[in-house]
Structure 1
Amino acid sequence: MKTICSLLFTLLVPLFSLSAQSPNAGSIPQRLDDYLTAAQRADRFNGVALVLHKGKVLLHKAYGVRNAAIKAPNDTATRFPLLSITKSFTAALILKLQEQGKVSVNDKVSQYLPGFARGDSITIHQLLTHSSGLFNYTDLIDEADSALVCHPVPKQRIIDVIQSKPLSFRPGTQFSYCNSGYFLLGLVIEKATGKPYEQAMHELILQPLGMRHSGFDFINLPTNSRAQGYDTLTARYYSPYPHPDSTVLYAAGGLYSTTGDMLRWAKTVANRQLLSARSWQLAFTPHRNGYGYGWYTGQFGGKPYLRHSGGYPGFMAEFVYYPAEDLTIVLVNNFGNYADSVFPVVQSLSVVVFGMPDELWLPRQEVQLTSELLRQYVGRYVADQPGGYGMDIVLRDGQLYSLGHHKDQLPELALFAGSTDHFFPQKYNSRLTFERDSSGRVMRCIIEENGQRFAWKKVD
């Protein structure tokens, strides 16, 4: 899934610091709960949240329903797919095997998969860091393929798909997020251990950590123990989405878990347990695009984090760890589509723990404005603050959109009218208000979020 961020931080993160203001009233656990309750009511979160700070659980609570048809609620024992968070576990297993002398990250793929095309030119390191140039096999999967991928698929069938496509670049020269690389890592693990990948994961990672409620065959779990996934889930409408078999997602995204088990993983990561200090250092060392071995590195509000997200229509998941603050946030959510993310929810929860002002989600109702009125907002806007930040407001097929002047500032966002001159983006807890001069001409746009307010002057 495409990653999206807090709207103001995406636009203006260099312009202000998270330490600028005092916190709102109320205890941190209560504010976390209030925020998630409001987010669930506004159809922005439906799942289970875990917030761990300095070894103390601040919040561990379920929200919404695991099955909308029977109105069965989520609880902290509900199992959810971790999807691409699986990559952090697969990378940890590779590093454990390296400690045992069974694998080296510098080995060629051909050493373990001798028949794999171009295996002599790709290393395990390149598989781990998404720099192999391999075709991403999941690009070929959508809902129309559910009759195939919701049942066990032979590994060779997926290998054949990966091998049939040319490399998109010379291995080691670029970054391109690639599930194929982690699929092959599962096969490397099987060759190195002489055991199925799933068994090796249980024996070397899950069992030592006591993660007894985690595994791989998600779609065949009892229905009362797992969440149903929905591409759309609101108080008024829901649409179930078929989840693929674990043999399809495999070492790239096949692991399921509970937040109780993920608490064990969170403590392991924070305390650098299970693996050696050297292995954890390798895992967290960023390479191209800030990606290590199964981890993204980055920062929010100037605070560095280690992170991985997971997403497939029906489910979203986030694992974010701020080392300096010893703060871990885990979210599992059972709705979503390709353009969705729960990372904005992570950011708002982070703001609460960091002691910054926060705002609750409010249910928002779209109203229809005429094209004549919408055209009045079209134009170029520049931030009052220095730095050259700007956005264009455009109108396409009766829909208003905002576009950042720089590609790293702002993704294209559809803007929905709450009333005349007042708009909101669906996936952000933000408000855009257009202000007019005495003649009624639109003169600027005000963006507000989490107690922050920034003005953008209309320049044409």
Structure 2
Amino acid sequence: MQTVHRRRSILALLGATGLATTTGGIARAGGRDRLPRDLLPGGRLDLFVAERAAADQFSGTVLVAHRGRPVLTRSHGLADKAAGIPNTADTGVDLASMTKSFTGVALTHLAEQGALAFHEPLGAFLDGFPSDVAAVTLHQLATHTAGAGRSALTTQRPPGEAEWGSEEEVWQGMLAYLRTLPLRFTPGTAFGYGNDGYFLLGAVVAAVSGLSYYDYVRQHVFAPAGLTHTEFHTRPQVLAATGVAHPYATQPNGERVDMAPSLPYIGAPSHGAFCSARDLLRFAHALHTNGLLGPAYTRVVTGGKHALSPADRPAPAGQREFYGYGHVETVAGEHRIVGHSGGGPGRATNLDVFPETGWTVVVLSNYDTTIRPIVDLARQLVMSAAGRSATLPVGG
């Protein structure tokens, strides 16, 4: 009886907080939904997310789509607790490291045009670096095998970073600082995940294109993909906006603290783009249907190039991961999953695209509580559904 009451309470929660829930024109055959019920509103995934939200373990949006068409879109929690503004599928959430996917596409777009090549050294585009740093290749920077810059876990910060108050100050200050850093290891001999390598790649995008990194990504990634709720917001913009989620960091005592006032002035090529769940689906759909790059270069940017060991990045049992250009390619049995995750104080994000079966799962949270259980369950359900792919609709 207690289980029945629990399920009823969760269903009531879904009714109260089911913002923008849809089955998106699901095709039917013989009166039955062709899509698996576990991935639809009221199904196993929806109920599981609602349980976590009810326990204050999730705040944000989960979106599941098949062939670009949403079949489940559910939002929970508040984007701004002080103002009482709820999260929706159009709320911009700090993607954290998933921002690297945009940078990877921008860099590959320039390669597709012949404006650069991945084997070329950093020094061919940017000057002022020590000779060994200048010799690292764009490929090594994009796969985190260059050894340039700081580790992602470092507490080391550039002098005066807290006072930077403009896009120009951030850009020039970071580049000046990165020119002072030695290599951490011999390029090509190890995997060392970090953010600085992607900042350097963003600087290459700017140097080659003649545009700022931000403008290049806006014009050649965001615009052609149809992203309308995606931007590199400045800290003042985040504080003033109503459609942007504040990141809430969990303190040791369990309290959640709004981190928006202490955000960097603006995000970077490695982290800090704000994007909505619907926009992230549009980005994934545009990329994998060749709306951003040609078919060959889509495989270039998304395909795994460096095998990740458990020490590099722990993977779920039975899954193997490979780092590409701002994307992680996961092989799980017969399934290929492409995407990226992100995390930090007050944010936890993940994008999974199943290119061969047409599924996409977006999980965006403005809490730093782990979303791994949600991601793992969604993968399990999608891969199970793919085993019954003969019953799935082919349109959309």
Q: Please say whether Structure 1 and Structure 2 have the same fold, judged by a TM-score greater than 0.5.
A: yes
Please list the CA deviations of residues 31-70 of structure 1 after superposition, one character each: whole Å capped at 9, or x if unmatched. Answer: 1322211121122211011111233311122111112234
Give distance in 2, aligned partners of 1:55 and 1:80.
20
Aligned to 1:128: 142
TM-score (norm 1): 0.66
- How many equivalent pairs are there? 330
Among 261, 264, 270, which residue is 2:288 paired with? 270
Partner of 2:117: 104
* TM-score, normalising length: structure 2: 0.75
**2:101 aligned partner:** 88
- 2:42 is equivalent to residue 30 of structure 1: yes
State the secondary structure of the residue aligned to 2:220: helix
- Which residue of structure 2 lines up, in the alignment, with residue 18 of structure 1? none
Q: Which segments of 5 or more consecutive residues in structure 1 lack a partner in the other structure?
A: 1-22, 357-460
Shift of 1:28: 3.2
What's the counterpart of residue 344 of structure 1? Answer: 373
8 Å Cα contact 2:133/2:182 also seen in 1: no
| Partner Cα separation in structure 2 for residue 321 and residue 255 of structure 1 | 19
Residue 351 of structure 2 corresponds to residue 291 of structure 1: no
**Residue 316 of structure 1, CA deviation:** 1.2
Q: Which residues of structure 2 form unaligned runs of 5+?
A: 1-34, 309-321, 386-396
Correspondence list, 1:126-165, <5 A: 126-136=140-150, 139-141=153-155, 148=162, 151-152=165-166, 153-165=169-181
Report the CA distance shift for 1:142/1:28 in structure 2 as closer, same or farther (over 3 A).
farther
Alignment of 1:34-433 (within 5 A): 34-117=47-130, 118-136=132-150, 139-141=153-155, 148=162, 151-152=165-166, 153-219=169-235, 220-221=237-238, 222-232=240-250, 237-242=255-260, 243-245=262-264, 247=266, 249-288=267-306, 289=308, 290-300=322-332, 303-336=335-368, 340-355=369-384
- Pairwise CA distance, 1:156: 3.2
The letter of the residue matching 1:315 is R
Larger strand proportion of the pair: 1
Percent identical among aligned pairs is 27
From the superposition, tell whether residues 27 and 104 of structure 1 become closer, same or farther in structure 2 (CA, over 3 Å).
Answer: closer
Cα offsets for 1:277-322 (capped at 9, x unmatched)? 1211211232222101111112346532112011120111111112
Contact 1:81 / 1:218 at 8 angstroms: preserved in 2? no
The 3 A distance-change label for structure 1 pair 256 and 150 is farther
Matches of 1:27 and 1:310, distance apart in 2: 23
Residues 134, 180 of structure 1: 8 Å contact kept: yes
| 1:196 positional shift | 0.5
Distance 2:39 2:211 in 1: 49
CA positional deviation for 1:239: 1.8
Q: Give how far 1:150 is off.
A: 7.7
Distance in 2 between residues matched to 1:137 and 1:160, nearest whole Å: 18
* DSSP-derived class of the 2:242 partner: helix
Moved more, 134-143 or 201-210: 134-143
| 2-structure distance, mates of 1:67, 1:135 | 34
Post-superposition CA distance 1:360-393 (Å, at most 9, x none) = xxxxxxxxxxxxxxxxxxxxxxxxxxxxxxxxxx
Checking the alignment, whether the CA contact within 8 Å between 2:335 and 2:383 is kept in structure 1 is: no
Q: Which protein has the larger Cα radius of gyration, Structure 1 or Structure 2?
A: 1
